[in-house]
Amino acid sequence: MDTDELKLFTSLKEIVEPGHTCLVVWDVQNALVNSIFNRDQFLTSLKTLLEAARKKGVLVAYTRITPLPQSVESPWRIYMQMKRFGVGDPKKLRQWMVPGSPEAEIPEEVKPADGDLVLNKHTASVFIGTHFEYFMINRNIKTILFTGIATEIGIASSARDASNRGFYTVVLSDCVSSADKEMHDSALKLLQRVCLVVPSTEVAANWK
């Protein structure tokens, strides 16, 4: 749809057109995958979607949690980690998601392929502390599809950031998950107010 010189995408088919779409695979690492409520279904849906995306030449970008040294981490994030792990002394925080460790690895069935982007990041937004937005501009990306873990944390904040930056933003409901199903369901309900929330099968159907 054209409005004077403004081009609007008003159908899902237009929005997810492969040439201007990026599929984000957010923090799909063993430690998180093994904690979610629907591990097998999640991995099956994500694997099927990745296969469809790669057949159509959709840009795929993975993120990996990569902790900062405590000496340069923000006191707030250290405090939140202490709460998360039930630790009263920051010196007793265990190292988590150490690069190269089994818990930090991406499961084999959904691992990156040649040509995919892999971004190490330190926050709960794909836009903070990375070159992600720069890459999207360089590739003339208009639409960002979000998959991964956890729905109420990194997916929610990254999707809101994408929407606020003017990207067409789509969260794929069967390809995001959490350790807490109630929080997952609540996050998807809230996200419907700021972006599209659809099953991956609908997107794949529009790529055929």
- Give the residue carrying structure tokens 């929005």: 15
Tens of pLDDT along the chain (208 residues)? Answer: 555 578 899 999 999 999 999 999 999 999 999 999 999 999 999 999 999 999 999 999 999 999 888 888 889 888 988 898 898 998 888 887 888 999 999 999 999 999 999 999 999 999 999 999 999 999 999 999 999 999 999 999 999 999 999 999 999 999 999 999 999 999 999 999 999 999 999 999 999 9
Does residue 144 come out as left (phi exceeding 0), alpha (psi in the -120 to 50 range) or beta?
A: beta
For 113-155, what is each residue's pLDDT tens digit? 999 999 999 999 999 999 999 999 999 999 999 999 999 999 9
The structural domains of the chain, ordered by start, are 2-206 (3.40.50.850)
Contact in structure between 200 and 175 (CB atoms under 8 Å): yes
DSSP 20: G
